[in-house]
Chain A
Amino acid sequence: MPSKAKTPAQASGSGTNPGRSGSSGAGSSEARLTVRKTYKLYIGGAFPRSESGRSYPVTDAKGALLAHAAQASRKDLRDAVTAARKAFSGWSGATVYNRGQILYRIAEMLEGRRDQFIAEVVASEGISATKAATQVDAAIDRWVWYAGWADKYAQVAGSTNPVAGPYFNFSLPEPSGVLGIVAPQDSSLLGFVSVVAPAIATGNTVVVLASAQRPLPAVSLAEALATSDLPGGVINLLTGSVDELAPWLAGHRDVNCLDLTGVQPAARVALAEIAADTVKRVYAPARLDLAADPGMSRLAAFTEIKTVWHPIGV
């Protein structure tokens, strides 16, 4: 029995990839069947299904099936952390110019697929195409904003320190390491970009749980990431149940920070308590205003200040 699933493009009634084409009803030509996408995870630069073999239905705002997304398991999460740790030395050691260019390249890739993302956001969030366009444009511009921060943050947040002795002493921000992020649950693309871009701009690598109910735009974003010269493993994307996965993320001993932006306040405390056992930096803003100037707080939250001393003498 044929599924009633609609692709996001169909659901929106617009987009560059309409579900059926060439079917003007002329004579013998059969309506073309669309090629549907399998929405998978993004780990270490590859697109695997969940090792558990599980998937879950994702619907549009009206309840119509959009796709079956991969339902990541604890093992997938561990694989993602391993991939993020493996990518950390290369990404944190890349020049800031290089990182900035790659973030800008992501914006370029999104710009070229703007209509597709508008259609996907419309389908996921049930908002108008106009509103979705505003979200997608803001998401693209957010990559540009953080691309520009990559080579400036150290100058703003660092310092030379005039110690009272014959020493040269300087401080600079360095990435905290591997971040576990629970992305906003409502804003499927702009919310996702707003938490991921600042984390990687400073050289962190991330494991991010996409919106559980609206994961599809983030998975499509991963396709853009994969073609943006972003090294595999810098961003690892999991879809599935936040309730199931977040405690493992909070407790993982090789995760340095926990961003609980996408977790409801009532559920944050339990995760923060788990995170305390590994002294994770926990970031949990009371609110997230996606229209506001993002500021530097997310850059600061996931960086460490390193101070280096050296004697001065002849």
Chain B
Amino acid sequence: MKFEYAPAPESRDIARLKPSYGIFVDGKFRAGRGEAVKTINPATEEPLAEISEAAGSDVDDAVKAARRAYEGAWSKTSPAGRSKYLFRIARAIQERARELAVLESLDNGKPIKESRDVDVPTAAAHFFYYAGWADKLGYAGFGPNPRPIGVAGQIIPWNFPLLMAAWKIAPALATGNTVVLKPAETTPLTAITLAEIIAECDLPPGVVNILPGGPAVGQALVDHPGVDKIAFTGSTGVGKMIQKSVAASGKRVSLELGGKAANIIFDDAPIDQAVEGIVNGIFFNQGHVCCAGSRLLVQESIHDEVIDALHARLETLRMGDPLDKNTDIGAINSAAQLARIRALADSGDDEGAVRWSPECPIPAKGFWFPPTVFTGVSQANRIAREEIFGPVLSVLTFRTPQEAVDKANNTPYGLSAGIWTEKGSRILWTANRLRAGVVWANTFNRFDPTSPFGGYKESGFGREGGRHGLASYLESEAYLAQ
């Protein structure tokens, strides 16, 4: 059954794109001293704007500005004042929500329905949640007078550009730290617009500094002696390098790294709901999600039924213009990411798994990869072990609950997992045994500012969100003595 939909695109004018963007340091917008690079629309490969990126000297300026603010204006701001600044930011994001959503979809390639309904509102909610903590920290369970750490260097990925900025900045400011944040090189636009919002909210200069740039800027931030804390979200490989880089420095570090989540479908699961959860788990945001349910573990007796239903559902997904409100699957964020996805998917073919994709027209320009399901995958296959970070699902089977748990945990990662069954006791039994930081039972990929998020094992340490998220930005007695 095919439904025809007329195009329903959002207007690109809503994004109010400027021809060029720079960096935000010490309360001022200016050109960075690094390279001028074009950020492109991954759905069309057309340039959106030119970014004058930060250089090492800009990192130095930003860290010094953040230090001055930390020791000056921000420490003189009362907790209630910090709280009100954060509430202001939350409301300002809501005011400019549509602009931010369109901008995000243009720069990232994600469908407008996701940027509009998930990224932007959740970012605003995150500021709203942590705003209220700023003047209540003594009640948070970290002692009567918890102290900030100092200057936080924050490095975020391209998959949820604005939301990740909110996850990083909101708890850092609520606890009294100041921030130097580096957005991902391919998606700087919403972070710079957030800097505009922060400037309009009259935060003291230097409290938040935003430095678009590439890996060299991130490395300079990690290595800068004026930074007290590094918060990183990204790949496990880079996370390991950062953890090693800061080992000698005494910097505190929190890492939110990769994942290879198991999504477990027991034979008594509500199949239709589970299929929706499988689709949401791996095809939300084109699979560019560290907690994506990329390993489907299906109980053997219902394997064919689930796969048939999944295929039927995937045939109805619409891939195309991210600004179209009917679009389910947007563009892959970059040519480099597309190449990685293709290489891993090809390894699935080479290692004997069976590839399936729905018939879906692929736009002529831009970076696209169709929703893809591999069946007959074994635990040893690369597509069952390595994070693909794309719309590729690997299907494995199990016979007993214990086998499901063993297979789910058979990975160095431990970020998230899913459980689908109608039996409550089985949910709790399974959730108890999964070595993962977030377990979604009969749902998947839900996020909320009150809900802690973060990994076990090589998926990183530290939590973002909730009361627990405060701890990543509060002084603790234990750190590497210099």
Contacts and interface: CB of A to CB of B under 8 A. Distances in A.
Interface of A: 93, 156-157, 159, 161-165, 167, 169, 171, 176-177, 253, 256, 260, 265, 268-269, 272-273, 275-279, 281-286, 295, 297, 300-301, 304-311
Contacts of A282: 247, 480
Interface pairs A-B: 4 shortest CB-CB:
A276-B243, A163-B448, A272-B247, A276-B244
Contacts of A169: 448, 450-451
Nearest to A289: B477
B457 A279 contact: yes
B20 to A, nearest CB: 37
Given A269-B248, A275-B247, 5 more contacts: A265-B481, A276-B243, A279-B239, A279-B243, A307-B437
7 contacts: A156-B141, A163-B448, A167-B448, A177-B457, A265-B481, A278-B458, A307-B466
B443 A310 contact: yes
Given A279-B240, A311-B442, A161 B452 contact: yes
B451 A277 contact: no
Interface in B439-472: 439-443, 446, 448, 450-454, 456-461, 463, 466-468, 471
B347 to A, nearest CB: 23
Interface of B: 125, 141, 236, 239-241, 243-244, 247-248, 255, 257, 412, 414, 427, 431-432, 435-443, 446, 448, 450-454, 456-461, 463, 466-468, 471, 476-482
Contacts of B439: 306-309
B453 A268 contact: no
Contact of A277 (B240, B446, B461): B240
Given A265-B482, A283-B478, A310-B441, A161 B244 contact: no
B451 A309 contact: yes
A301 B247 contact: no
Contacts of B463: 305
B228 to A, nearest CB: 15
Contacts of A177: 435, 457
Residue picked from A167, A278, A309, most chain B C-beta under 10 Å: A309
Given A279-B457, A310-B442, A311-B443, A272 B480 contact: yes
Contact of B437 (A161, A276, A305, A311): A305
B240 A284 contact: no
B252 to A, nearest CB: 11
Contact of B481 (A159, A256, A268, A279): A268
Given A164-B125, A276-B240, A276-B244, A284 B480 contact: yes
Given A279-B457, A309-B441, A269 B480 contact: yes
Contact of B451 (A161, A272, A284): A161
A307 B243 contact: no
A215 B236 CA distance: 38
A262 B248 CA distance: 17
Contacts of B414: 304
Contacts of A161: 448, 450-452, 466
Contacts of A164: 125, 448, 450
A283 B480 CA distance: 7
A301 B236 CA distance: 21
Nearest to B445: A309
B452 A167 contact: no
A306 B443 CA distance: 16
Contacts of A311: 442-443
Nearest to B121: A164
B455 to A, nearest CB: 8
Contacts of A305: 437, 452, 454, 463, 468
A260 B481 CA distance: 11
A171 B438 CA distance: 9
B247 A279 contact: no
Contacts of A157: 141
A297 B476 contact: yes
Nearest to A310: B441
A265 B432 CA distance: 37
A307 B478 contact: no
A309 B438 contact: yes
Given A163-B451, A276-B244, A309-B446, A297 B456 contact: no
A84 to B, nearest CB: 15
Nearest to A160: B450
Contact of A165 (B448, B466, B471): B448
A285 B141 contact: no
Contacts of A276: 240-241, 243-244, 247
Contacts of B441: 308-310
A309 B436 CA distance: 13
A273 B248 contact: yes
Residue picked from A253, A275, A282, A307, most chain B C-beta under 10 Å: A307
B240 A307 contact: no
Contacts of B478: 283-286, 297, 301
A188 B384 CA distance: 46
A279 B438 contact: no
Contacts of B437: 304-307
B257 A309 contact: no
A169 B448 CA distance: 10
B277 to A, nearest CB: 10
Contacts of B248: 269, 272-273
A214 B457 CA distance: 33
A176 B244 CA distance: 20
